[in-house]
Amino acid sequence: MHELDPSNDHPVRSEIFRAARMCAPCMDRLGVLTYHASPLNEPLREQWCASVLVNHLIPAIASAHLATSNFGFRELLAVDARLDAGLAGPTARDSRAAGRLVAADSRPPAAERALKRYFAAVESEKSSGHIATVLSARAAVFHVPPQMAVAALVFLEMRAAPVAMFWTCVEACLRQIPPGAHLLRAA
């Protein structure tokens, strides 16, 4: 993830914000996603990055992005199923709630039948609608690369940080992602 280092790079920060707004237009109404501690708590933030972000969310974003790009409705359902198996408790519950909110607020383009079917499955509770899956599916439709979708998700996760420390928290998470992690774990 080192190619997206937003430190002192306002154009990259602007792109991350734009991607977050595009992929989660209702971001102002999203509550907690999958990170439940203070973004300033460095040990817990590092633990979340290593366990939840790298092991579950990045692979889900990569897989959902590829599935959407290939019109794969069943594959999107499978991504949600893997997140259901990998996330637990409040993390899973809040991920589903945020994803459902984004899906409910979204209107996929008419040509995106797989995404329409997926959002209908989320609405009818036939699929969980995790935030990583929904955000990445929207990213694929709007031609936002998966690396930027990961950065947008980290941006959304760190929103509780004080303004003066916000980008420091986002940058710390992005630096903790191993280079190529988004590609190595997509399967």
**Per-residue pLDDT at 11:** 86
Residue 2 has which token pair? 């080192």
Ranges of each domain in the chain = 49-184
pLDDT for 4 beyond 60: no
Cα 137 to Cα 23: distance, rounded to the nearest angstrom: 8
Using one digit for the tens of pLDDT, what is the confidence trace for 92-139? 999 999 999 999 998 888 888 899 999 999 999 999 999 999 999 999
Output 8 or 117, whichever has higher pLDDT: 117
Using one digit for the tens of pLDDT, what is the confidence trace for 42-78? 999 999 999 999 999 999 999 999 999 998 999 999 9
Count CB-CB contacts under 10 A for residue 31: 10
